[in-house]
Amino acid sequence: METLPFGKTGETLSALGFGAAPLGGAYGPVTGDGGRAAVRRALELGVTVFDTSPYYGATLSETRLGAALEGARDEVFLITKCGRYGEAEFDFSPGRVAKSIDESLGRLRTDRVDLLLVHDVEFGDTGRIIDETLPALMAAKDAGKARYVGVSGYPLSALEEIAAAFPIDAVLSYCHGNLMDRTLFDSLLPACTSRGQAVINASTLHMGVLTDSGPPPWHPAPVEVREVAQAIARLCKEHGREITDVALQFAMARPGLACTLVGVESAGEIERNVEALAHQVDEGLLAAIDALVEPVRDRTWPSGHWA
């Protein structure tokens, strides 16, 4: 597995990271044994980054990940979050941050996480996140409970406003660095890397849109985006390729990222995704995909207080 620098820290991460939202059932039912097998297979394949949150499956993802990583904690770069606890349940207050990290450490069966992120900052007040929430994360860092701190969310402008104002170590962006939406690569990525902040690119499959079976019912993308993705899946098949392989190869060919996260719910999926990294995206196929994507390229949806 290729490794990439984590900002200016001198550490390196596996280029592909394990997104553990599916372990909490975000994309459909996953058994405890199935989730555990996926995590153990990822470790065998050299994946060292694992991302979770108390929000995923109302803490189930953290609990399952903590159990599956038992005995391997020192081999991995473990990421969790604070501030989001349900679909519409947010609490970015310093008191809740302090309690949240302690609860997460218990579920994850460890005394520290490698990266602690404020989860979905666009649902909070930006000024208060900068003045109150992030200082609380820094207190957790000072106490040795988190080695690095940062923010995650959807609107790139919300992430950039905070990253420019507070010396966070990392930013996690999702659904902006893949075949359907490439705006991360032109805006937040160069801004953060110029400041030495690591950028983690999540949802390379556009939260399931770029798969043969398509996204889950809760997916916020407009119907035109889903239809184009299904046309891409058919085109890939005609070329003897899998849409998930092509989507990963496309996203991971971009320089400057610290890590790319893909959500995984089975050992077979992580095997397939790691295997895809051994190959390059075909330029001819990519040009044909670009033509399909063009009418809906970079199409976004509202999230939090940001349109």
Q: Which member of 27, 55, 56, 85 is catalytic? A: 56
Catalytic annotation present for 56: yes
Name residue, tokens 């008191």. 95
Contacting residue, 21, 38, 258, 259, with ligand NAD by CB under 6 A: 21
Element (H, E) at 18: strand 16-19
| Residues in 263-302 at the binding interface with ligand NAD, rule: CB under 6 A | 263-265, 269, 272-273
Q: Residue 204: which of 281, 283, 108, 117 has the closest Cα?
A: 281
CB of 170 to ligand NAD, least distance (A): 11
Name residue, tokens 């957790």. 140
Sign of CA dihedral 65, 170, 139, 306: negative
Contacting residue, 108, 202, 246, 251, with ligand NAD by CB under 6 A: 202
The answer to the question of residue 170 lying near ligand NAD (CB under 6 A) is: no
Q: Which residue is nearest to ligand NAD (CB)?
A: 263
Contacting residue, 114, 120, 122, 161, with ligand NAD by CB under 6 A: 120
Q: Residue 166: which of 145, 186, 190, 149 has the closest Cα?
A: 149
Q: Residue 1: which of 197, 190, 275 has the closest Cα?
A: 275
Binding piece for ligand NAD, criterion CB under 6 A, among 32-40, 160-168, 205-213, 289-297? 205-213
CA–CA distance, 241 with 149 (Å, rounded to integer): 38
Dihedral-angle region of residue 127 (phi above 0 means left; psi in -120 to 50 means alpha; beta otherwise): alpha
Binding piece for ligand NAD, criterion CB under 6 A, among 40-48, 141-149, 260-268, 296-304? 260-268
Contacts with ligand NAD by CB under 6 A lie at 19-22, 27, 51, 119-120, 152-153, 172, 174, 202-208, 211, 244, 261-265, 269, 272-273
